[in-house]
Amino acid sequence: MEIRPIFASLRKHRIPACLIVLEIALACAVLCNAVFMISQRVSDIHLGNAIDEQGTATVVLRGTDDKLVGSDIPRNLAALRGIAGVQAVAVTSTLPLSHNNWGWSFGLDPDATISDQKSHNVSLYFVGEGADQALGLRLLQGRFFNGDEYAGSKFDTAPLPETHVVVITQSLAKKLWPGQSALGKTLYSMPHYYAVIGVVADVLRPAIGTHSGPYTYDSTYYPISAGGSKGVLAYYVIRSAPQDRERILREAEQKLASLNPGAVTKAQTYSDIREKYFADMSSMAWMLVLVCVVMLAVTAFGIVGLTSFWVGQRRRQIGIRRAVGATRGHIMQYFQTENLLLTSVGVVVGMALAFGINLYLMQHYEMSRMPWYYLPGGALALWLLGQASVFGPAQKAASVPPVVATRSV
């Protein structure tokens, strides 16, 4: 295939050629960044969470008398255990992705305080007896709390429990003590300190910010007795087989409401909590998908329009070429190659532009660096789009009969 005639002809149509290049470049830049944003959100929506998401449900009970929780909580739990099909129940202060986040900063030195620059911020989960079973936490090292540790832990005036044991997630253990076992190590925030007795598989924090990051799994668990919980143990977590969950949740809410007149209940399955947390993110992702599709369609129609115009303008030249021996295939090839050349220039400019936009977004927004393969990916998409949209007009060009050359108009 001879390329030189194509260049010669493009030189004569500089403005339309530049427009196609510009359109391809812009589309490529927007496409790469939009697809990257979509993929970030999709991966956030599917973040792992080592609890039994399908089998757990929760009733949040608020407005009870803090002074009576010592007897209320065991009574409520016993009533919930009586529901047919319930596998485990427990009370906790919050759940992953519930938005109800208590954070605290701990250091690794005995004199560390909450405001130290090098302290690590973590989320606090206060849990009552049996929470590991009810949530389906996966213990990787050490052990979970024993009965004495639950019974002996209470809140005094600080929002940290008066106990000295903690269970942390695997990610946090690796981050705080890289290359060592976390068991037996201590977290400090004067005057409180907690020894790590167990490590569980990664559980999400109650709130992970707008995007996942290195802190997404920084969760810690503390035992707390019902009597010393000062009303923080508001989440009744109920575990069952997934198919029983809806029925059990309804029964559980009714039971809790009738046992605690005047209190406010709110029942949710864990799947609902998760879906609600990510609802905004997924609608943003769908909007991005919509914009990308429409933009590609507009670009494709633009290419079709401009190429058709060119074909119309060059009917005579095409006829002459056909008359002097060019096959239909040659004519098709000519327009396809021309499009390939223009698209190639467009995607090179577009990739540079995409990279620049990504750098700008990284500076001004919570955005990470776009992996390199997005650039060739976007380029490939536009090459295919260009070839697909030029096919129709090229075929029309190839069907110009040689006899056109002999007509004067």
Partner 1 sequence: MFAYYLDLALHSLARNKALTALMVLAIALGIGASMTTLTVLHVLSGDPLPGKSAQLYYPQIDPQDIKGMMPSKEPPEQVTLIDGLNLLHAARADRQALMSGGSAPLDPEKANVDPFYVETRYTTTDFFPMFDAPFLFGHAWTAADDEAKAREVVIARALNDKLFGGANSVGRTLRMAGVDWRVVGVLDKWQPNPHFYDLNTGSYAYGEQVFLPLQTMLELGLDRNGSTDCWGNGGGGVGSILPSDTCVWLQFWAQLDSPAKAAAYKEFLVHYSQDQKALGRFQRAPNVRLRNVMQWLDYQMVVPDDVRLQNGLAFGFLLVCLVNTVGLMLAKFMRRAGELGVRRALGASRRALFTQLLIESGVIGLVGGIGGLLLALFGLWLVRQRPSAYAALAHLDLSMLFITFVLALCATVLAGLLPAWRACQIAPALQLKSN
List residues near partner 1 by CB under 8 A.
15-16, 19-20, 22-23, 26-27, 29-30, 33-34, 37, 62-63, 65-66, 102, 113-117, 155, 157-160, 190-191, 210, 230-232, 257, 262-264, 276, 279-280, 283-284, 287-288, 291, 294-295, 298-299, 301-302, 305-306, 308-309, 312-313, 361, 365-366, 409
Residue whose CB is less far from partner 1, 239 or 255: 255
Distance in Å, CB of 297 to partner 1, minimum: 9
Residue whose CB is less far from partner 1, 1 or 408: 408
For residue 234, the one-letter residue type is A
Distance in Å, CB of 166 to partner 1, minimum: 17
Distance in Å, CB of 281 to partner 1, minimum: 8
Residue whose CB is less far from partner 1, 113 or 327: 113
Residue whose CB is less far from partner 1, 4 or 364: 364
Rounded distance between C-alpha atoms, residue 260 and residue 71, angstroms: 12
Distance in Å, CB of 29 to partner 1, minimum: 7
Rounded (10°) CA dihedral 271, 275, 277, 283 = 170
Residue whose CB is less far from partner 1, 26 or 332: 26
Rounded distance between C-alpha atoms, residue 245 and residue 54, angstroms: 9
Residue whose CB is less far from partner 1, 4 or 14: 14
Distance of CA 66 to the CA centre of its chain: 38
Distance in Å, CB of 161 to partner 1, minimum: 9
Distance in Å, CB of 93 to partner 1, minimum: 10
Specify which residues 103 forms β-bridges with: 123
